[in-house]
């Protein structure tokens, strides 16, 4: 339920009323996955994580938003051409 509101918030400075794209949703899922994986490492794999994960999470969010803003002018054309998936399971 958080994905679409985050995507819309990332577009807050844009005049566009276009639909959120699948690629935008996947980008946000990727960010959330990075954050969630800190807990996976600790509770599932028993791998040490920082005592205070907040700085790492802040770093993930900063890198994400900087990259997202850098790509924002290209947002409407982010879809890869069909030929990029030719011969792969993704192109099927």
pLDDT value of residue 21: 85
Token reading at 6: 């985050």
Indicate the pTM of the whole model.
0.69
Token reading at 34: 């990075």
Q: Please state, in angstroms and rounded to a whole number, the distance separating the CA atoms of residues 8 and 11.
A: 5
3-class DSSP state of 1: coil
Which of 27, 28, 29, 10 is CA-nearest to residue 18?
A: 10
pLDDT value of residue 92: 44
Residue 49 near residue 41, CB atoms below 8 Å:
yes
Whose tokens are 């099927």? That residue is 92
10-residue stretch averages of pLDDT, the chain, 92 residues long: 88 76 91 96 96 96 88 55 52 46
Residue 84 phi, psi (nearest 5): -65, -20
pLDDT value of residue 75: 56
Token reading at 76: 């409407």
């Amino acid at each position: 339920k958080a994905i679409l509101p985050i995507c819309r918030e990332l577009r807050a400075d844009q005049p566009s009323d276009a639909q959120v794209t699948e690629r935008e949703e996947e980008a946000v899922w990727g960010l959330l996955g990075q954050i969630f994986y800190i807990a996976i490492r600790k509770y599932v794999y028993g791998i040490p994580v920082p005592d205070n994960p907040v700085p790492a999470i802040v770093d993930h969010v900063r890198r994400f938003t900087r990259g997202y803003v850098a790509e924002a002018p290209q947002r409407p054309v982010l879809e890869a051409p069909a030929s990029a998936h030719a011969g792969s399971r993704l192109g099927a």
